[in-house]
Amino acid sequence: MNRFSILVCSLCLSVLIIPIKSFAQKNSLASADQAFSNMAYADALDMYKKAYTDLHSNRDKAKKARVLFQIAECYRMMNEPKEEIQAYAKAIKAKYDDPVCLLYLANADKMMGQYDSAMVYYNKYKDAVPSDPQGPLGVKSCEVAAQLKNNPTRFVVNDEQQLNTKYSDFAPAFADRRFDELFFTSTRPGSTGDQIDNAIGQNFSDIYETKRDKNGKWSEPTPLPSPANSEGNDGTPCFDKGYKTMYFTRCLLVNKQQQKCKIYSTERRGNTWAQPVELDFQVDSVTYGHPALSPDNTELFFASDLSGGYGQHDIWVSHFDKKNHKWGEPKNLGPEINTPGDEVYPYVRFNGDLYFASDGYPGLGGKDIYVAKKVGPDKWGTPTNMGVPINSEGDDFAITFQGTGDRGFFSSNRLGGRGSDDIYSFELPPLLFDLQGHVVNADTKKPLEKATMHLVGSDGSDVTLTTDTGGFYNFGANGNSRYIKPNTSYILTCSADNVVKAKDVSFIASGSERANETTVALTESKTFVHNFEFQPVTMKTVLHFPKVLYDLDKATLLQQSKDSLNYLVKLLNDNPTICIILDAHTDPQGSYKHNMVLSQARAQACVDYLESQGIDSARLEAKGWGFTRTLPGLDGNSIKKMKTKQMRDSAYALDRRTEFRVHVGKTFIPKNRKLTAQDSLKMMHMEITGQSQVDTNAADTVGASSGANQQQSGNAPAQQPKKDNMGNNNPKSQQDIKKEK
């Protein structure tokens, strides 16, 4: 397999490569060392193996151990970790004394996902070289890797087999506004000049293009014509916002020798390209590549080993000087981004967020992809690992996004790929939320058709639908969108006012008719389920509640009576459209007139208290009955016939009662119902999110929930809301719609 670090060298950070034909002594160790120093690793590997065979009878164990180490080094530079592990293990067994062998073996173990073994060798290296931070970094990486693997992200990754070969295919970039044209780098046969790069044993890389048809299939990739490609290594393209100018990395061949690599630009001219022009950063003796433009084309980011950096290769930025029409002096992004390791392959999204590959942070494998959120001019926050499955045990790099969407491509040499490096697509599937349930008769448990479900969202949404013949409702799909959205809080209210019923029957909720839900902080799709029960009542249905007590011959409410009336406050709040009649009764003592006045005063006292608790007076009616409706067997004559005074007093107490009935046929419509729901919803949403105002644009987000009979389950069929010709909500049942059809 090809090695990513060699891609860095061969594409933008290489030193002089001397063709293997210049090596004189075919079987000498010196020739192998010369090939290795000139990065002809494929050839050096064969030479070292031959040299080790020649040393078979040699008693110089140290020399043998060094050759074994160099064999392992060739595998490392060619990015073949499986072979690395075996070779480094042999070198260690042969007593190779440089502790760096422990570090490289640990790195190879990590790239193969063998974290336990890697941890052992990182600790050994840390003990051997306590001053080198790579030991502790490796230990930390193994710990972080376990966390990342146990907590994968929602990204879905696919191998783009139409684009990949057994060679190296990497660094994709969209080349048109429709995102149907893709450029990428490849070392497949048929490159311009058709020469072999001795560093990796593959062709020099070229920039290839492919186009996607209406069925999503990519065309056969073809190399760009000269002069866009050269006989040397060309690759890692990027485009300006008009897709007219391409920036890329080129490592020229001069007299069959590869020179240091630079960034070039070329103009698109129909199906051809203008002669590429080298970007002049006014710096000497330095290599740079992996260009990436900011969305406004005023900044060019790239990787380089410029002096003054923090590691092997850093991310730098150059600002465009409009006055002089040239790129300015490169500036290092600083230790907030760069580490003592490698930072390469930058990419800048539409919002200024910076993506790059690095092996200098604790991560899964060789190089992981990180994102740093932009926080100001030339300032970014702490880089965050993009996690599994974007990152793997191998090298993951060169990410690109399709416009503002959460999809695109990246490159990886992870296990299971087709070639040395492969192109993978990724997509973040949308969070899908449903809110559903059923509404039933509390007594019979039969479904209630045409119950009204009213959903109000903190994003300003306001939707109404009705239950179907099975009593089901479902706020799910809404055309190409959905009713329940991420990072939004909702209030759901259920009303049985429109339920098909006899004209003398109404329904009141058994429990709350309102439920609260939020998708704030939810990171997984979820179905919320709220079921509701409604109790049927008629004008003759008397509903009892805790006793309302009065002083003898008084209408003043006692504190205990107020506590009892709070039951009614809750019921009326749970059923905000019903109206009630409060019936007050006295015992059959005293005059008819006196008891009628007393009972009316007591009923009115209850009404006054309910009003003081926020219940609208239009929903309340006070009715005093005196002793005209005594309980069966407790009329005045019957009570007088009772044997003891205690029995008579108890009977009189039973007659002194307050009851309420639902006023069937009368419905209360709160004038400020929608406003109240929206206001309380916004307050709830801001409390959950900690925001000073509702932000409906945040990313997918762990929800809190409450309400009536809440449970979580699967799917239920339900009628979706329709709109009338004016675009207003028009609740209809499934039967209505079937009739229309």
pLDDT at 724 over 50: no
569 located within any domain: no
Between 166 and 192, residue with greater pLDDT: 166
315 in the same domain as 254: yes
Would you say 5 and 344 are in contact if contact means Cβ atoms under 8 Å apart? Answer: no
- CA 537 to CA 63: how far, in whole Å? 98
Give the pLDDT of residue 126. 95
Task: Flag whether 302 is in a domain.
Answer: yes
Place of tokens 């391409």: 246
Write down the pLDDT at residue 16. 33
Out of 121, 150, 179, a domain closes at 150
Rounded to whole angstroms, how far apart are CA atoms 713 and 135? Answer: 48
Residue 484 maps to a domain:
yes
Average pLDDT, the chain: 83
Residue-wise pLDDT tens digits, 341-400: 999 999 999 999 999 999 999 999 889 999 999 999 989 999 999 999 999 999 999 999
Which CATH number fits the domain that encloses residue 502? Answer: 2.60.40.10
pLDDT digits 0-9 by tens, 389-427: 999 999 999 999 999 999 999 999 998 999 889 999 999
Looking at residue 242, its pLDDT comes to 94
Report residue 109 as tokens. Answer: 């173990």
Number of domains in the chain: 4
415 and 295 fall within a common domain:
yes
Question: Tokens 């990590």, residue?
Answer: 110
What's the pLDDT band for 21 if we cut at 50, 70, 90?
Answer: very low
Q: What is the pLDDT of residue 675?
A: 42
Closest by CA to 136, choosing from 365, 366, 395, 362, is 362
652 in the same domain as 511? no
How much is the pLDDT for 719?
42
**Considering only 178-187, 419-428, 491-500, 591-600, which range has the smallest mean pLDDT?**
491-500
| Banded pLDDT at 567 (limits 50, 70, 90) | confident
Q: How far is CA 353 from CA 372, 374, 577, in A?
A: 6, 5, 51
Of 585, 586, 550, 587, nearest to 565 by C-alpha is 550
Q: Are residues 663 and 733 in the same domain?
A: no
pLDDT at 15 over 70: no
Tell whether 428 is covered by a domain.
no
Residue after which a domain boundary falls, among 633, 667, 701: 667
- Label residue 144 by pLDDT band (50, 70, 90): very high
Chain-centre distance of CA 148, in angstroms? 15
Model-level pTM greater than 0.75? no
Residues 138 and 161 in one domain: no
Measuring CA to CA, which residue among 476, 389, 522 is closest to residue 720?
476
Q: Are 490 and 499 a contacting pair, CB within 8 Å?
A: no
Residue 625 domain-assigned? yes
Please check whether residues 303 and 207 belong to one and the same domain: yes
Kindly report the number of other CB atoms within 10 A of residue 512's CB atom: 19
Higher pLDDT, 409 or 714: 409
Distance CA 145, CA 114 (A): 11
Which of the given ranges, 193-207, 270-284, 598-612, 700-714, has the highest pLDDT on average?
Answer: 598-612
CB burial of residue 695 (10 Å; 0-12, 13-18, 19+) = middle
* Amino acid 174: pLDDT: 98
Find, among 661, 673, 671, the residue nearest to 629 by Cα.
661
Chain segment 656-710, per-residue pLDDT in tens:
888 878 775 566 655 544 445 555 666 556 566 655 443 333 333 222 223 334 4
**pLDDT the model gives residue 679:** 57
Integer Rg of the chain from CA: 39
Report the CATH number at residue 273. Answer: 2.115.10.20
Torsion, Cα 595 600 603 609, to 10 degrees, reads: -120
In whole angstroms, what is the distance from residue 434 CA to residue 184 CA? 40
| 36-78 confidence digits (pLDDT tens) | 988 888 889 999 999 998 887 778 899 999 999 999 999 998 8
Tell me how far apart the alpha carbons of residues 360 and 312 are, in angstroms, rounded to a whole number. 10
Q: Cis omega (within 30 of 0) on the bond before 389?
A: yes
Tens digits of residue pLDDT in 521-531 = 898 999 999 99
Which sign does the torsion angle of CA 565, 571, 573, 576 carry? negative
Could you tell me which residue, 531 or 255, shows the higher pLDDT?
531
Provide the token pair at 403. 């416009």
Type of residue at 438: H
Reported as a single tens digit per residue, the pLDDT across 80-106 is 889 999 999 999 999 999 999 999 999
In this model, does residue 183 exceed pLDDT 80?
A: yes
CB 301 within 8 A of CB 255: no
Asked if residue 411 belongs to a domain, the reply is yes
Which residue shows structure tokens 């100001």?
Answer: 376
Can you give the length of the chain in residues? 741
Q: Which residue has the higher pLDDT, 509 or 216?
A: 216
Mean pLDDT across 487-494: 91
Q: Give the rounded percent of residues in the chain with a pLDDT score beyond 90.
A: 57
Same domain membership, residue 371 and residue 316: yes
Q: Which domain holds residue 16?
A: 4-150
Question: Does 136 share its domain with 184?
Answer: no
Burial of 198 (0-12, 13-18, 19+ CB in 10 A): buried
Percent above pLDDT 70 for the chain = 80
CATH number of domain containing 134: 1.25.40.10
The CATH code of the domain that includes 663 is 3.30.1330.60
Residue 380 pLDDT: 97
Asked, for residue 485, whether it belongs to a domain, the answer is: yes
Q: What integer pLDDT is reported at residue 596 of this predicted model?
A: 94
Residue 456 · residue 491 · CB < 8 Å? yes
Could you tell me if 400 and 439 lie in one domain?
no
One domain, residues 217 and 289: yes
Q: Which residue has the higher pLDDT, 571 or 215?
A: 215
122 and 161 share a domain?
Answer: no
pLDDT value at 725 more than 50: no
* Helix, strand or coil, per DSSP, at residue 338: coil
| pLDDT above 80: residue 714 | no
Q: What is the 3-state secondary structure (H, E, C) of 449-473?
A: CCCEEEEEECCCCEEEEECCCCCEE
Domain end residue (candidates: 605, 632, 667): 667
288 and 349, same domain (yes or no)? yes
305 part of a folded domain: yes
pLDDT for residue 715? 39
